[in-house]
C-alpha cells in the first residue's frame, strides 16, 4: 500500500517516513496545492501544535487543525483510498485528568488547541464511511523519541547540570508515548483489516512519576539523581512569589511539573491483540540517551 502523508516535516512525520522507508511508497503532501491523491492510505499529521507561550491567534488553530482536516477527510471519502489515519490529541478531551482518561470520557477541552482538534474529530465521526474504508482517530499523549526534546529537555537539562530536583514530595503519574510504539500502531492499522474504525487513545503501558523520570535521566548519564523533599507548602509559597517576581518557578509551572495525566491504552491494546515493541522505560531511556549523544 502506498501512503499519502501530510505533516511530513514534523517529528512524527519524519519518523513515519523512516519507519516505512523500505516497505511503503510515501507521497508527501505539499502546501498550497490542491488536495488530490491516488494512494491507498492517508496519514494526516499536519496541524497547529499547542503554543505554550500563548502567542498564536485562535484562528490559526481552527484553520489548520479543523478546516484542513475536513478538507483532507472529504477528499479521502471520494477517493479510492482505503485507510484514513489522523492524529488528534488527548487535549481534545481534557486538559486535566482525574483518575484515568478513557475514550468514554465526555470531551471538555478548554484551549483553542483542544477545541480545534475536537471539532475535527466530531466532523469525521459525523460522516458516513463508505463500505471498504477504515477511519482511525488517534489521541496520543506526549510523544517522545530520539531527536525530539520537547518538555522532557527541561528535566534533562536540570539533571545534566547536577542541579537538585526540589519537588520530591510531590506525587504524580503521567503517561508518555514512544515514537516507536506510535509507528508500530500505525503500521498495524494499515495492514490489518480486523481493527474497527474509531477513536483510540495511544500511550505506553506504564505511566511514570516525575521523580522516576529524574532518576532515569540520571541513570542515562551514569549519575545519581539528587531529589530534595522540600515541604510542599513551602514550595507552593515560593511558586506564588515567583508569580510576582517572574521567577523560573511559578504556580503555573509548578502545576505542569507535578500534575498527573494518566491515559488508558486498553482499547487499542485489545484491538491489536499484541504487545508494544518497547516498554515505557525502554522508550524514555532511548530518548534520554539521544539527548546525550547529541550533546
Boundaries of every domain in the chain: 3-140, 145-175+204-263+274-295
Higher pLDDT, 35 or 50: 35
Q: Is the pLDDT of residue 198 over 70?
A: yes
Alpha-carbon 48 to chain mean position = 13
pLDDT of residue 111: 92
Give the torsion through C-alpha atoms of 58, 59, 62, 64, to 10 deg. -110
Give the C-alpha separation, 17 to 260, whole Å: 32
Task: Kindly write down the DSSP assignment for every residue of 194-206, as one continuous string.
Answer: -SPSEEEEE--SS
SS3 at position 27: strand
List, for residues 2-19, the tens digit of each pLDDT value. Answer: 999 999 999 999 999 999
Per-residue pLDDT at 225: 92
**With 0-12 CB in 10 A as exposed, 13-18 as middle and 19+ as buried, what is 181?**
buried
Of the CA atoms within 13 Å of residue 64, those in its CB half-sphere come to 20
State how far the Cα of 215 lies from the Cα of 223, in Å rounded to an integer.
Answer: 9
What are 137-190's pLDDT values in tens digits?
A: 999 999 999 988 677 887 888 888 888 999 999 999 999 999 999 999 999 999
pLDDT at 248: 78
Per residue in 218-240, pLDDT (tens digit) is 999 998 999 999 999 999 999 99
Q: How far is CA 267 from the centre of its chain?
A: 17
CB within 8 Å of 65: residues ≥ 6 apart: 47, 48, 113, 116, 117, 119, 120
Beta bridge partners of 85: 43, 136
Distance CA 134, CA 17 (A): 21
The dihedral built from the CA positions of residue 108, 109, 115 and 118, taken in this order, carries a sign that is negative
- Residue 66 has what DSSP assignment? I
pLDDT of 53: 54
User: In the block, which residue shows the cell 546525550?
Assistant: 292
Which pLDDT value is given to residue 56? 63
How is 57-103 classified by DSSP, letter by letter?
Answer: -HHHHIIIIIIIHHHHHHHHHHSS--EEEEE--GGGT-SS-SSEE-T
- Under 8 Å between Cβ of 120 and 74: no
How many whole angstroms separate alpha carbon 225 and alpha carbon 218? 5
Task: Give residue 295's pLDDT.
Answer: 59
**CA 225 to the chain's CA centroid:** 27
List of residues 6+ apart from 222 with CB closer than 8 A:
none
Q: How far apart are CA 15 and CA 188, in angstroms?
A: 16
Average pLDDT over residues 99-118: 96
Q: Which CATH number is 145-175+204-263+274-295's, of 3.30.1490, 3.40.50, 1.10.1330, 3.90.25? A: 3.90.25
Confidence of residue 61 (pLDDT cuts 50, 70, 90): very high
Q: What is the pLDDT of residue 78?
A: 94
Contact 198, 88 (CB under 8 A): no
* Predicted structure pTM score: 0.93
pLDDT value, residue 14: 95
Nearest to 159 by CA among 96, 210, 86, 120: 210
Residue with cell 514550595: 235
Fold of 3-140: Rossmann fold (3.40.50)
DSSP 295: -
Amino acid at each position: 500500500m502506498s501512503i499519502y502523508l501530510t505533516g511530513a516535516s514534523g517529528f512524527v512525520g519524519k519518523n513515519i517516513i523512516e519507519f516505512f522507508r523500505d516497505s511503503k511508497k510515501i507521497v508527501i503532501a505539499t502546501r498550497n496545492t490542491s488536495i488530490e491523491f491516488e494512494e491507498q492510505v492517508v496519514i494526516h499529521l499536519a496541524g497547529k501544535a499547542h503554543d505554550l507561550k500563548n502567542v498564536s491567534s485562535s484562528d490559526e488553530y481552527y484553520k489548520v487543525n479543523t478546516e484542513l482536516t475536513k478538507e483532507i477527510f472529504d477528499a479521502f471519502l471520494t477517493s479510492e483510498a482505503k485507510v484514513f489515519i489522523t492524529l488528534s490529541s488527548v487535549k481534545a478531551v481534557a486538559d486535566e485528568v482525574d483518575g484515568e482518561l478513557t475514550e468514554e470520557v465526555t470531551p471538555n477541552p478548554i484551549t483553542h488547541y483542544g477545541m480545534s482538534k475536537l471539532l475535527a474529530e466530531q466532523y469525521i465521526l459525523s460522516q458516513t464511511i463508505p463500505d471498504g474504508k477504515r477511519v482511525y482517530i488517534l489521541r496520543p499523549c506526549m510523544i517522545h523519541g530520539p531527536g525530539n526534546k520537547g518538555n522532557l529537555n527541561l528535566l534533562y537539562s536540570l539533571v545534566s547540570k547536577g542541579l537538585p530536583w526540589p519537588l520530591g514530595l510531590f506525587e504524580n503519574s503521567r503517561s508518555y508515548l514512544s515514537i516507536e510504539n506510535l509507528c508500530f500502531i500505525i503500521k498495524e492499522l494499515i495492514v490489518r483489516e480486523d481493527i474497527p474504525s474509531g477513536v483510540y487513545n495511544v500511550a505506553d503501558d506504564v505511566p511514570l512519576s516525575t521523580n522516576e523520570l529524574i532518576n532515569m535521566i540520571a541513570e542515562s548519564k551514569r549519575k545519581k539523581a539528587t531529589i530534595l523533599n522540600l515541604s510542599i507548602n513551602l514550595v507552593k509559597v515560593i511558586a506564588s512569589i515567583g508569580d510576582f517576581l517572574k521567577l523560573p518557578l511559578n504556580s503555573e509551572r509548578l502545576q505542569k511539573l507535578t500534575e498527573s495525566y494518566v491515559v488508558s491504552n486498553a482499547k487499542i491494546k485489545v484491538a491489536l491483540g499484541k504487545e508494544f515493541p518497547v516498554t515505557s522505560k525502554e522508550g524514555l531511556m532511548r530518548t534520554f540517551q539521544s539527548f546525550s549523544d547529541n550533546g
